[in-house]
Amino acid sequence: TLELNYPALLKQNAALLAGSWVAADSGEYFAVYNPATGVMIAQVPRMGRVETERAIAAAAVAQKQWRTLTAKDRSARLKTWFALIMQHQEDLARILTAEQGKPLAEARGEIAYGASFIEWFAEEAKRVYGEVIPAPLGDRRLLVLKQPIGVTAAITPWNFPTAMITRKAAPALAAGCTMIVKPAEQTPLSALALAVLAEEAGIPAGVFQVITGDAREIGAAICASPVVTKLSFTGSTEVGRILMRQSADTIKKLSLELGGNAPFIVFDDADLDAAVEGAIASKYRNAGQTCVCANRLFVQDGVFDTFAQKLADRVAQLQVGDGFVDGVTQGPLIDDAALAKVESHVADAIAKGARLVSGGKRHSLGGTFYEPTVLADVSPDSLVFGEETFGPVAPLFRFKTDDEVIELANRTEFGLASYFFSRDIGRIWRVAEALEYGMVGVNTGIISNEVAPFGGVKQSGLGREGSHHGIDEYLEIKYVAMAGL
């Protein structure tokens, strides 16, 4: 069993709808497992369409009140929520590691990162400014008001069970919207724990609800509802397309944060040690299961062999194991399907001529543990070039010229994160501008924080999260023309 200082954070058999902790109408549950051990941690309600419709109705009622609070009042409650999350950081991290598998140190980091969005948008709540536009006619004054978009919903993934929720809920609530969250079935416990603390922070009934259960049914009910005016989704491009299609009938506003296929380019003038550290952080964090993880590492011919060797030496220091064990830096993969995908990508790369530098097989710990892997001289025909591996595999591709690598880097339908290492200021500008990506890390493998706009171009999605732009996704612009003055 999971030892917690505040056991009430581990919610069993209930989700938060309309201010009450309730079971599914059907009385059905589903189990949540620890991916490191296969042991069941808890059961949560298997809800569906009817419960979703009830949550939407409650969110609509609650929003009428919530939007009338002063920004300062909403801000104060969000700040209290932030403080409670930080106060319970250790328990929340333990719940996160238990259901998701990432090392406890990373889980603590995610709780702080997740909480930072609540603090940031508590501050931004007070800075939703309108405009006064100089009018073309003398008797007029033209105004722009910003108003909350209304009832919103979020569907979130398992790789960041806390941060992907707070990044959406914080700007929504700050703007005066209400939000219904449907967390991933693998990791609902972190979402429910957030809801426990939201209640304690004085977020009123119906303003922040968490519904667990059948993803398709809940998703379809959200999309079909004309009351829900905005849906924010983080997950696969495939499911993003489904939700976009389903949202067409109600012309729902969408924020989509979908798959990536991040290039990580090492030019021959790079600081190679810094590039290795960047690659370790960007590639092996969360066992490679993030949408901004380096997916393809392009290394210039002159430094290729040195970089490959330095990376392999550093990878040899990674510790694979249960995230609760001290010193572990790489946990298990989330499930068997994830493991199968990693295995197929590695086998395919080797069949197409890649050289195995380190790892390359399941870890001796068994389960869904996989060895941190480095492949060299990978062919651009390989599956790893076109698809997100979502695992601890670094495929190294060799290149000669800047033009060649920019073409290779952009040869994908995705456009989320990208990274490169160089010390030449001209090259830095040229490459940063030429990469068709929503985010570019120059001489760093870590780019996410609450003050910067996170999001993708092309088929990696729509909209931005975090930064002062993040709250705009939850605001409508209303133009008021005043005449006859």
Catalytic annotation, residues: 257
CA distance 465 to 452: 8
- Residue 446 Ramachandran class (φ > 0 left, ψ -120 to 50 alpha, else beta): beta
Rounded to the nearest whole angstrom, what is the least distance from the CB of residue 172 to ligand ADP in the complex? 17
Cβ distance to ligand ADP smaller for residue 147 or 236 = 236
Cβ distance to ligand ADP smaller for residue 333 or 440 = 333
Residue closest to ligand ADP, measured at CB: 219
Rounded to the nearest whole angstrom, what is the least distance from the CB of residue 306 to ligand ADP in the complex? 35
Rounded to the nearest whole angstrom, what is the least distance from the CB of residue 243 to ligand ADP in the complex? 6
CA dihedral 284, 328, 93, 170 (to 10 degrees): -10
Rounded to the nearest whole angstrom, what is the least distance from the CB of residue 443 to ligand ADP in the complex? 29
Contacts of 197 (CB under 8 A, 6+ apart): 9, 81, 84, 85, 88
In the numeric block, the tokens 């919610």 are attached to 11
Between the alpha carbon of residue 446 and those of residues 54, 56, 277, 279, 423, the distances in Å are 40, 37, 10, 9, 18
Phi, psi of 261 (to 5 degrees): -150, 65
Rounded to the nearest whole angstrom, what is the least distance from the CB of residue 222 to ligand ADP in the complex? 8
Cβ distance to ligand ADP smaller for residue 247 or 300 = 247
Biggest alpha carbon distance in the chain? 79
Phi, psi of 29 (to 5 degrees): -130, 165
CA distance 184 to 160: 10
Provide the residue type at 477 as one letter: I
- Residue 378 Ramachandran class (φ > 0 left, ψ -120 to 50 alpha, else beta): beta
Cβ distance to ligand ADP smaller for residue 242 or 356 = 242
| Helix spans in 331-382 (H) | 336-351
Phi, psi of 331 (to 5 degrees): -85, -165
Rounded to the nearest whole angstrom, what is the least distance from the CB of residue 219 to ligand ADP in the complex? 2
Q: How many CA atoms lie within 13 A of 146 on its CB side?
A: 18
Cβ distance to ligand ADP smaller for residue 164 or 357 = 164
**Distance between terminal CA atoms of the chain?**
70
Rounded to the nearest whole angstrom, what is the least distance from the CB of residue 483 to ligand ADP in the complex? 46
In terms of C-beta density within 10 A (0-12 exposed, 13-18 middle, 19 or more buried), how is residue 28 classed?
Answer: middle
Cβ distance to ligand ADP smaller for residue 291 or 435 = 291
Token pair for 106: 């990373």
Name the residues that contact ligand ADP, by CB under 6 A: 155-158, 182, 184-185, 215-216, 219, 235-236, 239, 242
